[in-house]
Homo-oligomer: A and B are copies of this chain.
């Protein structure tokens, strides 16, 4: 605790001090100061400084603190604790914090949040806790949150914000501006207002800059654009993100099955979706499931097992190919020494092709117009690189074992396997995609199985045939 005494008294602008160090992590000096204040129960410092942080900054601080410190900090902050910070932390940290809180406190806090943030926190809770919290909310709020929670995970309906500004088409710009000036119950921020009929059916939308540029007498239905990008609440969030990207939207109306406006999807949420989806693809390509850094050893170990099990089978498959040629190997051990080279080069080339294909499919850059051309291109690249590396590897192997014929055999196997790598690398993801499987999740294992099997079989098979070793 001596540390606190040597620190200067908190100045009023300390809140503006950058809490992040050079490396982008929360400064350890800042964390030490907060830790000391928690230990001292220095409510004044915590409320006036930590309580004023942006929700994402507070989230980072919470993640960096110890578990007991988190609970104490939230208790000491009291009403100054910005509940939205919980949307910024790891799932494990969020659940730890929320589980420790009485449901009534959560219900009160949730009322101050935008509905998308509230849903984000509620969706991970047990059905029982969630129902208890919802029961304590005012009627309108409860209905709105229930509606969002009723849509499946990863849909626009689950991600939308139910607070929005909507006006009738016959209003003027002046009336609209006056309405916004006098209505306190607006969303925290918005970039677009919507135009609806008496049945709440969506007629159009207007960007705020358009309202500001129009005269007060302009009629809303004259300046609105009939929105061509209304998003059905049941649409997958990834598809919604693609629409945002393609049309450079800042927000979009979400409509139910009767074309009625039920919410708005904002670019802030879409940015999170884009990140999540890219993350998911990277993780799947690496053979990792839906895991977080804060997961426990056992759950991590469990989540990584399926992929390793699949790899186990394919590794035994490759081994049994080698087993077919055990007589050959016994007569020429050099084959055992060289065979991993053929498999490894093929695996590497196949991974390159597969990565390009999986991404092109995910971003829809690949379609029926260019698939044929790309397959031809990959096959040509495989052939060219196959020949280049065949010559290199053949020469090195020939010198190493003083056996030119062996060099020729490994070179031939290399060309065969690099072609297999190119074709497998593009056709396997394409076929998986065609049959509705996610190419990111399952391509890698199939593709490297192909290059292992073809690599070992072509190399050992050619050697057996050429040297008549069978």
Contact = CB atoms under 8 A, between A and B. Distances in A.
Interface in A136-181: 177, 180-181
A162 B213 CA distance: 20
Interface string A298-317: 10110011011001101110
Interface stretch (A3-11, A97-105, A352-360): A352-360
Contacts of A413: none
A340 B312 contact: no
Interface residues on A, range: 35 or more
A56 B246 contact: yes
A282 B279 contact: no
Interface residue SS majority, chain A = helix
A470 interface: no
A268 B267 CA distance: 9
Which of A23, A212, A311: most chain B CB closer than 10 A?
Answer: A212
Nearest to A440: B282
A274 interface: yes
A396 interface: yes
Contacts of A392: 312
A248 interface: yes
A80 B309 CA distance: 58
Interface stretch (A39-47, A194-202, A342-350): A342-350
Given A271-B271, A318-B344, A338-B319, A282 B281 contact: yes
Interface stretch (A125-133, A253-261, A321-329): A321-329
Contact of A274 (B275, B333, B338): B275
Contacts of A308: 345, 348-349, 385, 389
Given A250-B250, A271-B245, A288 B352 contact: yes
A222 interface: no
Contacts of A428: none
B312 A336 contact: no
B344 A336 contact: no
Nearest to A311: B348
The 9 closest A-B pairs by CB, nearest first: A286-B355, A278-B278, A25-B367, A336-B336, A208-B208, A315-B341, A297-B380, A248-B268, A326-B333
Contact of A212 (B180, B318, B330): B180
Contact of A24 (B26, B268, B364): B364
B359 A283 contact: yes
B377 A297 contact: yes
